Amino acid sequence: EVQLVESGGGLVQPGGSLKLSCAASGFTFSDSAMHWVRQASGKGLEWIGRIRSKGNNYATVYGVSVEGRFTISRDDSKNTVYLQINSLKTEDTAVYYCTSPAPGRVECSGDCYPFGYWGQGTLVTVSS
């Protein structure tokens, strides 16, 4: 069974930093791209960014609205992907999800796919 378990959320003051983790199991993590998506309370889904596998040079890409303050990394030895957020703003308050490609739906040499597995999310609250 595939599991994605996020951790590291909490209450942070504006301007602070936070590093979220997502521990994966039940699939070959090292071969899989991983993504982060966030959702503010009562709002829609916002894609944050993606990190590819070692075979794809751990390539990262970020959404336009978050580029610069967010950094995705991974540790394949721990089956874990991370999201570092710096200079936190009140508008970063949201539930942060990690997600992975839907199995069997990957095309375009590995970079066209919908999301299949989701963690339950970790809440980040930015407030003074």
Per-residue x/- marks for another protein, 27-46, CB under 8 A? --------x--------xxx
Please name the residue ranges forming H helices in 79-125. none
Q: Does 58 bind another protein (CB under 8 A)?
A: no
Side chain identity at 13, as an amino acid letter? Q
For residue 3, what are the CA distances in angstroms to 26, 38, 46, 75, 100?
Answer: 6, 18, 21, 16, 10
* CA 127 and chain centroid, separation: 22
Q: Could you tell me which stretch among 10-18, 69-77, 78-86, 112-120 binds another protein (CB under 8 A)?
A: 112-120
| Chosen residue from 11, 40, 102, 123 binding another protein by CB under 8 A | 102
Q: Which two tokens stand for residue 30?
A: 């090292």
By rule CB under 8 A, what count of residues binds another protein?
23
| Chosen residue from 5, 58, 93, 115 binding another protein by CB under 8 A | 115
φ/ψ of residue 59, rounded to 5: -60, 135
Q: Which of 85, 78, 113 is nearest to 99 (CA)?
A: 113
| Chosen residue from 1, 57, 64, 77 binding another protein by CB under 8 A | 64
Q: Which residues bind another protein (CB under 8 A)?
A: 35, 44-47, 50, 61, 63-64, 97, 102, 105, 107-108, 112-116, 118-121
